[in-house]
Structure 1
Amino acid sequence: MNETMVCAVGNVATPPVYRDMASGPSARFRLAVTSRYWDREKNAWTDGHTNFFTVWANRRLAVNAAASLNVGDPVMVQGRLKVRSETRDGQQNWASADLDAVAIGHDLSRGTSAFRRSAQPEAAHASPQPEPNWDTPQDQSADPAGQQQPEPAAVT
């Protein structure tokens, strides 16, 4: 459908909260995204406005996010943007921006990270697929079955 996919780069602002729900694992944390710009008057980089997003992760992404993320970590989050607004107890309109995460990763432009593959369920190991043959055939005129293609007939 017409979903708004975004990529946000910022810092983890709150510890991930992990829940094991009936529909599967879920985790959420707040992401702080601060714009930076060059201030000509000060001749230096300056921090601009900070936006906060609630990032929601589900299933395996939730498990891995809860185990991997800490407050202050620089991360990149790709996901569907959901903006909600409502009125609370006669106050002004209240709005929140949530990211339903598809992918989360450490921002390697600001540090290093050590990747560890998580354990796969047993069902995933039941029938491994053979590795495809990616080699290019030596003879470019051979067909996929390896047989020589006939030369085109000369026109006289």
Structure 2
Amino acid sequence: MNETVVCVVGNVATPPVYREVAAGPTARFRLAVTSRYWDREKSAWTDGHTNFFTVWANRQLAVNVAASVEVGQPVVVQGRLKVRTELREGQQSRASADIDAVAIGHDLARGTASFRRAAKPEAPAAVRPEPNWETPPAGAPDSDPAQHQAEPAAVT
């Protein structure tokens, strides 16, 4: 497919908004990505232009984002870039850049993190009746030998 996959490093600009929808959990937050460059005249690093992206996470990634990501934290986001233009009546057209995230993590170049594996949601177990493993007493009225496993023969 011809999708634009990006990897951006920036700071979380808004608190994640988590929602349960019919298609599953979803979360979104704004990411500020500021370029930095070395200014030779000042002999110092200088901030350049800041781009803002809306990062969208779905399913388990959304659940983990809601539990792990806070405003101001440095993160690395990888996903599909989608640029949208919107025309409202009486206004200029407006463009927004969204990232449909595949992976999100804290930027360990700027801090530490402690990883905890997320608990997998348990699938409903198939309901199967438990077989009766007890051997009925000899001469029991409803003992059907076909319903019970034979005991293994002793090896001599």
Structures share fold, TM-score greater than 0.5: yes
Which whole-Å CA distance do the structure 1 matches of 2:21 and 2:108 have between them?
32
**Structure 2: segments with no counterpart, 5+ residues:** 126-156
After superposition, the C-alpha distances for 1:91-116 in whole angstroms (9 at most, x for unaligned) are 11100000000000000000000000
2:144 — aligned with what? none
Once the two structures are superposed, what CA deviation does each residue of 1:54-84 show, in whole Å capped at 9, x if it has no partner? Answer: 0000000000001000000000000000000
* Partner AA of 2:107 in structure 1: D
TM-score calculated relative to the size of structure 1: 0.78
Compute the displacement of 1:87 (Å): 1.4
Determine which structure has more spread, i.e. the larger CA radius of gyration. Answer: 2
Q: Please state if 1:23 is matched with 2:23.
A: yes
Aligned ranges 1:1-156 → 2 under 5 Å: 1-123=1-123
Q: In 1, Cα distance between the equivalents of 2:121 and 2:64?
A: 14
SS across alignment from 1:122: coil
TM-score, normalised by the number of residues in structure 2: 0.78
1:86, distance to aligned residue in structure 2 (A): 1.8
Separation in structure 2 between the aligned mates of residue 71 and residue 27 of structure 1, nearest angstrom:
14
Aligned length: 125
> Quick one: which amino acid aligns to residue 88 of structure 1?
R
